[in-house]
């Protein structure tokens, strides 16, 4: 798959999560996305799950009044790396995902 296609789909997943994420659970959003063969063929379940996680963390941080820099600091991520994750340029590692889950739980 072309990088442009993948980036477009990642942005669409993120937009859907931002819009419906306040009403639906992460699992429901993932099920909705996987329902469409086009999306599921281009992104793995794990990638969709990570995109939804990052979006949920970003929304929760906004609700708590945290800037991107403050959130990066709280997560112990370099600010530039957090920006890359937010932009979808890179996906967080499993350890970073654990930090994101911890933030949501706290």
Q: Across the 106 residues of the chain, what is the mean pLDDT of every consecutive 10-residue run?
A: 62 68 66 56 76 88 93 95 89 95 93
Q: What's this model's pTM, rounded to 2 decimal places?
A: 0.69
Burial of 6 (0-12, 13-18, 19+ CB in 10 A): middle
The pLDDT of residue 48 is 78
The pLDDT of residue 41 is 54
**Residues 6 or more apart from 50 whose CB is under 8 A from it?**
91, 92, 97
Domains of the chain: total = 1
The pLDDT of residue 39 is 47
The pLDDT of residue 83 is 93
The pLDDT of residue 26 is 66
The pLDDT of residue 3 is 58
Which structural domain, as residue segments, surrounds residue 68? 3-105
């Amino acid at each position: 798959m072309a990088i442009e296609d993948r980036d477009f789909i990642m942005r669409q997943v993120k937009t859907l999560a931002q819009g419906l994420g306040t009403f639906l659970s992460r699992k429901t959003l993932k099920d909705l996305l996987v329902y469409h063969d086009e999306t599921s063929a281009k992104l793995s379940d794990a990638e969709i799950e990570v995109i939804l996680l990052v979006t949920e963390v970003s929304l929760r941080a906004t609700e708590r009044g945290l800037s991107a820099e403050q959130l990066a600091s709280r997560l112990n991520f370099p600010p530039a790396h957090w920006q890359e994750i937010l932009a979808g340029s890179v996906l967080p590692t499993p350890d970073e995902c654990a930090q994101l889950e911890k933030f949501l739980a706290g």
